[in-house]
Amino acid sequence: MKSPGFFSKQSDFSTSRPLATLVPECYEPGESAMEFNRGDFILVKGNSLVYRLIKFGQKMRIFGEDRKYVDWAHAALIVDRDGTLIEAKGTGVKKSSLDDYAGQPYQIFRIQASDEDRDQEVEFARWALDKHTKYGKLTIASIALSLLTGRKLTFFIDGQFVCSGLVASALERAGSIFNRNAANIMPADLAKYFDPAQRPYLEVSRTSSPVALLPRCHPEALEKTVRAS
């Protein structure tokens, strides 16, 4: 199955319509979010071996301005107002808590979706959890081959997920449209799809400038802060 390359010199968003979001909220180690809503999702940075391997693989194929996305190495779906997560990890799809990531930098993406669409997201994630869905190791191998060789041929087993593929598949239930198979979406892909700077595809505001909408941990926002000081 052919999958279009997301990170190219001229990325084409014309066939992609991610859900609109509020400005992503950044949390550094020791900081914790206090409010949650089902259907929102997180992206996580980290220094574990698995995270380093994911970041290395993403760096193999991501260049130029898109390099700012490669440090995001994990994704998980928020499924209730207590911050419970459903996520795909090495041992399969598991339930956990956002508190587990209090020692790592993460972003919360708060989508704009109806209660019914949020329910569809959570129902899908709970289905994957109840079915004891396995981690998509074949998908990871496929993505790694693509990253290393530049080939666009990808393969996967239906019903298996990597972390970001699980989140992307859930977001499709709420109306997101991606220009590649959700199963092969990596954390860096989600970071770019839902970057507020990628307007007009994410119309979080019709009045604010793109830089004003960026979260404080976004590279462009940090650059603006440095210039101002």
> Among residues 102, 106, 85, which one has the least CA distance to residue 40?
85
Q: Which residue has the tokens 């928020």?
A: 78
Query: pLDDT for 145-195, tens place per residue?
Result: 555 555 554 444 445 678 999 999 999 999 999 988 888 888 999 999 998
Q: Can you give the pLDDT at residue 46? A: 83
On whether the CB atoms of residues 180 and 2 are closer than 8 A, the answer is no
101-158 pLDDT per residue, tens: 999 999 999 999 999 999 999 999 999 999 877 554 555 555 555 555 555 544 444 4
d(CA 225, CA 21): 23
How far apart are the two ends of the chain, measured CA to CA in Å? 50
Question: Would you state the pLDDT for residue 224?
Answer: 44
pLDDT for the residue 228: 44
pLDDT at 108: 96
Q: Between 107 and 222, where is the model more confident?
A: 107
Q: Which residue type is seen at 99?
A: D
Phi, psi of 151 (to 5 degrees): -75, 150
Average model confidence (pLDDT) across the chain = 77
Q: What is the 3-state secondary structure (H, E, C) of 4-67?
A: CCCCCCCCCCCCCECCCECCCEEECCCCCCCCCCCCCEEEECCCCHHHHHHHHHHHHHCCHHHH
Q: Give every strand in the sheet of 25-27, ordered side by side.
A: 25-27, 106-109, 41-44, 74-78, 84-89, 92-97
pTM of the predicted model as reported, rounded to 2 decimal places: 0.77
